[in-house]
Structure 1
């Protein structure tokens, strides 16, 4: 097993995978929301442990950005520990790229945790889910957290658009979609011009807003996770082939969508041959700062 990412020999980098199972019987979401998400995505398999996730991606010669979602204030449910993901990356440095997640509601405590996770655990980025965490990304209360992330030169990945979490449940499981309009990230991109922002997912019903922000702001990327490529809106495919060919990233949303299924459907859509390797790996290397971090080429 390699002691670092072998970027040259990776077939792809999946920038969007979830740690759903800590291996000790604790899951990242309450049982009702977890079951609802499984129904929405048509997945009834139990989520893998972090070690199983690493084995899965290693067998495919892929690396994976792995994170949980800390929404303890809104959900009243304990998260998967960020440290557990960082420790898994230490066991599997050839596969796992560890991201952390901190609920912005934690205020100064969260800011201190973010700094500690960067300094002591080597996390490589941060994940936010505005709808589950119940905050607008441009809420100034979250800015001290962004300051720490930007100062460290790390990316911040934000869920956008509709979510499978709570879908079909009474009242959507209490999850409000309004927080995840990607236009809120335009303010963040203005106020933190050096912060790399990744807008996660085709942003239904705000796809055009996401495309506008990503074309206008140089440090904003879009990941393609959470949808089979065969359902991508035509304007997303058009921009991925042209104006955003250097800013669109492969992501699956594993374990809810497998990279195998995603890649099979990706092969069938009209992406230019010269753009495919950019989406699958090259753009992620730049967005995640992997060359700057001294990983193998």
Structure 2
């Protein structure tokens, strides 16, 4: 594989058309990104694949979303996409953190019955940092199922407190308690990018994905890391539909990465980490 061939987007959601209603905190992100057309317009699996083809994305890792008191998009909805295009979509599970035992059972169902390849929890939705006790049974189950745990790091674009996104101490403590757990930290970690790089360097099983930032705006520290001693630790992500797949891929080309680094960034690292 060369260039963008085989590109895997490690962080994406379904374009359900229900964002304005169910995640009102995220509306301003779509407005700032110029993608408001997808706030109220859902995309079918076929239409989503067309967007992927236009951008040159081979696989889209699409996550379910659960927040306190309601599901935004369920694991079964995600499975409808992965069943329709099993070679193009990879499911990422979500769980209801407020029901710990049910959450563990739902994660196992999502992986063993629906084929999900990871768990994602967005801490600001729950106002709980990832070292909170409610996460720990899920970490054990992730290790048992041999899947990564995906989470958001850095400040929150939505108007919610950002403290839950600090890499240190929260993710650092998780990695110390569960060194076997593969952790993919999405959204780079800005403005604590150096902290996030330090945590990824320190822990063999901690990785960074670049979702929610157009490549033109990747921090210089991250670019230096992913082109040197961190080239096996950084994964491409978009946060689709908040960011355009085509714009992201066009701007990746502008980074002038070496072929080796580009291939690891766009697909090699994701294939290894998620065991695709």
Q: Is the 1:70–1:133 contact (alpha carbons within 8 Å) kept by the matching residues of 2? A: no
* Partner in structure 2 of residue 201 of structure 1: 187
Structure (1 or 2) with the greater strand fraction = 2
Distance in 2, Cα, partners of 1:113 & 1:212: 33
Q: Is the 2:9–2:57 contact (alpha carbons within 8 Å) kept by the matching residues of 1? A: no
* Partner in structure 2 of residue 41 of structure 1: 33
* Partner in structure 2 of residue 136 of structure 1: 129
* Partner in structure 1 of residue 197 of structure 2: 211
Residue 55 in structure 1 maps to residue 41 in structure 2: no
Deviations 1:111-142 (A, max 9, x none): 11111212221111111111122111011221
* Partner in structure 1 of residue 163 of structure 2: 178
Q: How many residues align?
A: 271
* Partner in structure 2 of residue 258 of structure 1: 244
RMSD value, Cα: 2.3
Go from structure 1 to structure 2 and tell me whether the alpha carbon gap of 1:199 and 1:101 turns closer, same or farther (over 3 Å shift). same
Distance in 2, Cα, partners of 1:58 & 1:269: 21
* Partner in structure 2 of residue 18 of structure 1: 13
Secondary structure at 1:202's aligned position in 2?
Answer: coil
Distance in 1, Cα, partners of 2:57 & 2:24: 34
Runs of 5+ in structure 1 lacking a partner? 1-5, 166-171, 291-297
Query: After the TM superposition, which residues 94-173 of structure 1 pair with which residues of structure 2 at under 5 Å, given as runs?
Result: 94-165=87-158, 172=159
Q: Is the 1:248–1:279 contact (alpha carbons within 8 Å) kept by the matching residues of 2? A: yes
Distance in 2, Cα, partners of 1:67 & 1:31: 14
Q: Is the 2:236–2:265 contact (alpha carbons within 8 Å) kept by the matching residues of 1? A: yes
Q: Is the 1:26–1:80 contact (alpha carbons within 8 Å) kept by the matching residues of 2? A: no
Distance in 1, Cα, partners of 2:250 & 2:34: 17
Go from structure 1 to structure 2 and tell me whether the alpha carbon gap of 1:144 and 1:242 turns closer, same or farther (over 3 Å shift). same
Go from structure 1 to structure 2 and tell me whether the alpha carbon gap of 1:77 and 1:113 turns closer, same or farther (over 3 Å shift). closer
Secondary structure at 2:104's aligned position in 1?
Answer: helix
Deviations 1:185-204 (A, max 9, x none): 11111222221110102211
Distance in 2, Cα, partners of 1:262 & 1:131: 25
Go from structure 1 to structure 2 and tell me whether the alpha carbon gap of 1:262 and 1:272 turns closer, same or farther (over 3 Å shift). same
Deviation (angstroms), 1:100: 0.8
Secondary structure at 1:235's aligned position in 2?
Answer: helix
Secondary structure at 1:14's aligned position in 2?
Answer: strand
Deviations 1:141-192 (A, max 9, x none): 2100111111100011111112322xxxxxx2xx211011122111111222
Go from structure 1 to structure 2 and tell me whether the alpha carbon gap of 1:28 and 1:191 turns closer, same or farther (over 3 Å shift). farther
* Partner in structure 2 of residue 91 of structure 1: 84
Distance in 1, Cα, partners of 2:49 & 2:11: 14
* Partner in structure 2 of residue 3 of structure 1: none
Q: Is the 1:10–1:63 contact (alpha carbons within 8 Å) kept by the matching residues of 2? A: no
Go from structure 1 to structure 2 and tell me whether the alpha carbon gap of 1:104 and 1:124 turns closer, same or farther (over 3 Å shift). same
Deviation (angstroms), 1:270: 4.8
Distance in 1, Cα, partners of 2:77 & 2:64: 10
The farther-off stretch of 39-48 and 149-158 is 39-48
Distance in 1, Cα, partners of 2:70 & 2:19: 9
Deviations 1:202-254 (A, max 9, x none): 21111011100101111111111111112111111111011110111111111
